[in-house]
Amino acid sequence: MSTSATEPTYRLEQKRNITGTFPGPKSAALNERRAAVVAKGVASSVPVYVQDADGGIIQDVDGNSFIDLGSGIAVTSVGASDPAVVAAAQEQVARFTHTCFMVTPYEGYVAVAEKLAELTPGTHEKRTVLFNSGAEAVENAIKIARSATGRQAVVAFDHAYHGRTNLTMGLTAKAMPYKTGFGPFASEIYRMPMSYPFREENPEITGTEAAERAILAIEKQIGADQLAALLIEPIQGEGGFIVPAEGFLPRLAAWAKENGIVFIADEVQSGFCRTGEWFAVNHEGVVPDIMTMAKGIAGGMPLSAVTGRADLLDAVHPGGLGGTYGGNPVACASALAVIETMIEQDLAGRARRIEELTVPRLQETAEKTGVIGEVRGRGAMLAIELVKPGSKAPNAEAAKAIAAACLAEGVIILTCGTYGNVIRLLPPLVISDELLSDGLDVLEAAIRAQA
């Protein structure tokens, strides 16, 4: 870890504080207003309304302070009000909020593209195009791959999550709640077996063998020469923080290269220092042809990016890519500030430190309780998979009960997983050791109550 890294500063006291019962009266009143006007289809996992957020703390309208171990789903890695991001956004918002890059361009967009060319793996020439959401980035990565290769088929994997738009619903694996009732879905999408070490039938299978299993199925069911893109999350997010066995990603990437297939790494959740490196592919030295990025990129301002090989991105005709808001100037200013904060505070190092502090504690709890099948993840993208004691049977009830018990004590944690039995930890990377430790105390007690 760099010794010259600066420390984060906080506006709010970094301390958990639940003043009474919650949701308190103000949150309850807001919930009533909400029920009358907000669609039921958008559900919230925590029943309180936010007043302020900073560092590792979320404060609600009734004065309760929660420890945030979710970062708004891996978004506020630099905190929800990092002073550098706030200043950059304020400065930009006072000059112009929008002109549309496709009409009258501005420097921020170009500067973000320059940074992404530097930070993403590989020294080859790169191009970038900016959008608003992760799903939009994935959609456009597929558009680019199809346009550049002249092929149509796309491979996605079991347990994948790529978004909720029509094309990305088709790429996402889990039906309920993401797909059920929303079809028909786009064609030419093929799903292949993932490397999921904890749930492999043959626990001895290596990463390379798991890759060969997928490659064989692709060759038989699709044909390599029909395949435009192979799309994969280097660590699966929504699907359960599944870390593929070592060798899986490099073998797939190498095979894609041999066959002229565009290897797209969806780093929307795993990117931007979350796993202890700038990107999760860096852990195995994989250089994707195209990467999609969003969540952690701009401290909560809506921004996403597709960065990849110049020859692929430039194969698309002028006007073929874009969108009214893509690369909004305030979001670009925020992204530049986020990148600076991540470097100055060595947040990749912080993510590794969070792993060092957290994993041994979770492993000890696993040994003591018998409800944890596996502790996994990298950096500050960590998870525990809950099982029925003495088996590998998914224990979604325990995951739900643990999340509820943590919340009751003022700790926000998220669940995920194809079987709903995974607790995922995504703390802001700027969380203090003390606050993280307090949150883990609460989590451990909640797990022990399930044993």
Site residues for ligand PLP per CB under 6 A:
133-135, 138, 161-163, 233, 237-238, 266, 268-269, 294
Residue with tokens 């643990």: 402
Q: Nearest to residue 377, comparing CAs of 402, 404, 350, 351?
A: 351
**Rounded-to-integer distance, Cα 345 and Cα 8, Å:** 7
Which is closer to ligand PLP, CB of 85 or CB of 280? 280
Nearest to 121 by CA among 267, 237, 245: 267
Instruction: Catalogue the E-assigned strands of 330-390.
Output: 372-378, 381-386
Q: Bridge partners of 394?
A: 387
Shortest Cβ 129–ligand PLP spacing (Å):
16
- 193: preceding bond cis by omega (within 30 degrees): no
> CB of 398: closest distance to ligand PLP in angstroms?
24
Q: Which is nearer to ligand PLP, 35 or 42 (CB)?
A: 42
Distance of CA 66 to the CA centre of its chain: 21
To ligand PLP, the closest distance from the beta carbon of 165 in angstroms equals 7
Instruction: Say whether 249 sits in a helix, a strand or coil.
Output: helix
**Pick 109 or 161: Cβ nearer ligand PLP:** 161
Within 13 Å and on the Cβ side, how many CA atoms surround 134? 28
Closest residue to ligand PLP: CB criterion: 134
**Closer residue to ligand PLP (CB): 11 or 179:** 179
Q: How far is the CB of 238 from ligand PLP (least distance, A)?
A: 6
Distance of closest approach, residue 164 Cβ to ligand PLP, in angstroms: 6
Report the nearest approach of ligand PLP to the CB of residue 72 (Å): 11
Per-residue b or e along 306-322, where b marks 16 or more CB atoms closer than 10 Å to that residue's CB: bbbbeebbebbeeeebb
